[in-house]
Chain A
Amino acid sequence: MAASPPIAVEPAFASWEALGSTAVLGVTVPGALSQARCEVESDLAAVDRACSRFRSDSELSRLNARAGRPMQASPLLIEALEVALRAAELTGGDVDPTVGRALELAGYDRDWRLLAAPADESEPDAPARPPALRIRVRSGWREVSLDRSTRRIRIPAGVRLDLGATAKAWAADRAADAAATSGCGVLVSLGGDIATSGPPPAGGWRIHVTDDHRSDASAPGQTVSILSGGLATSSTAVRRWSQDGRIMHHIIDPATGRPARSMWRTVSVAAATCTDANIATTAAFMRGEGAPAWLEQLGLPARLVDHDELVTTVGDWPAEPFAGHDQARAA
């Protein structure tokens, strides 16, 4: 999609809590903020009712409870699942929606803000004591059956879906498009996953990439601007909790059913949509040192930070303005 001409008006912003995270809405026409917020809030509420794993009354919870039996689903859940299955297809299963049970076994069975905060900074899979029982969770997105014509979904018995790897970014894309119907430029950020629609402000949308979306622009990171598309950042440094003395995080490696042990700490990617950007950031954790070459092959500009805070940039991602050779490298 070609970028629209920029609008030479300062954008207006609003932020609030949504989908268990922070929603930020920016519009290039300040007078359109209230209406745009109504559109975004309505859309996010619908997505939450369909896709939340933490709401017992959500469609996804009902689907998970009916594992092994078919269920007729709303068009919204059908679309969300199609997005998740497309992510699995395009990443060879690195982003797999069938890791719900693995997330629960890792302790992520409620809003993460209610989970026990980690007491130290040891890595996942570094057990304080030998586990009494090791359970390997089988995942398999290919076993999910989805029939769009009859709107029926069937997941294998014992499998629980989690759409967290794609639904938030997809919701940001949807919300940005919904709010841009009035013709103004729109930015929607959901927990740091950013989608834009319509004409950007002069100079583009300014975005500071860092470990934690709750930080401010003074946090270590880099400030860039985008004219269109989406930008997503995933990090294992934020959504962490403690389980049996081990530090866990929310990015599950489908190959092991456990929190990914990756050389990367934080990955940011720019793409045509926030959904595609988010798929790429999540898959990058599983691809490890092969991630920069994979992103380069896809033509996706990216910034990857390893555990030693060494920054690797990919493709046309702008170079770090103040980084020396010992702090940054290009893929």
Chain B
Amino acid sequence: MPGSQDVNSRDAALRKLTRINRWLIAGSVTATGALSALAAGTFSGHAVTAASTTTEAASSTAAEAAKSTASSGSAANLEAASSAPSSAEATESSTGGESSTGGESSTVVSGGS
């Protein structure tokens, strides 16, 4: 039969273990949240659009290449012209033929092809 002192020691040890377990659980939950937030910030994903029909993990190579192009001279967005088109009166004929000369009739046609 254990003495009352042994019982008290056991109960004290159990209470200590319980406190340690609670702290461990609380600490692991906090650490999980912090690490998740860190990972989300470090490895940000991309928006899924209707045009991107692939459901597999997408390689970032193409996107990086596109960004590389943008940084090597092309604009990072579609770029507007320095001046907008202005209205011009319609003319009677379009451009065509070898080495035809210009003049008021030298209108180039932009249409579907």
Chain A interface residues (CB < 8 Å from chain B)? 1-3, 10-16, 21-22, 24, 26, 30, 33, 81-83, 85-86, 88-94, 96, 138-148, 168, 187, 189-194, 201, 203-219, 221-239, 254-255, 257, 266, 268, 270-273, 276, 279-280, 286, 298-301, 315-319, 321
Contact = CB atoms under 8 A, between A and B. Distances in A.
Contacts, number: 290
A231 B95 contact: no
B112 A192 contact: yes
Contacts of A148: 65, 68
Contacts of B60: 142
B40 interface: no
Given A88-B62, A140-B53, A224-B87, A192 B69 contact: no
Contact of B107 (A208, A212, A286): A208
B5 interface: no
Nearest to B47: A92
> Which bracket fits the contact residues of B?
35 or more
Interface in B71-90: 74-75, 77-90
A192 B111 contact: yes
A274 B44 CA distance: 33
Nearest to A155: B62
A213 B83 contact: no
Contacts of B8: none
Those 3 A-B pairs whose CB atoms lie nearest each other, nearest first: A235-B112, A191-B113, A93-B51
B86 A1 contact: no
5 contacts: A13-B101, A140-B58, A142-B59, A271-B81, A276-B75
Contacts of B112: 192, 211-213, 233-239, 266
B97 A15 contact: yes
B6 interface: no
A192 B111 CA distance: 5
Contacts of A1: 82
A90 B111 CA distance: 23
A88 B69 CA distance: 12
Given A1-B82, A26-B102, A142-B52, A233 B111 contact: yes
Given A89-B63, A206-B106, A315-B84, A14 B49 contact: no
Contacts of B97: 15
Given A86-B74, A321-B87, A193 B81 contact: no
B49 A92 contact: yes
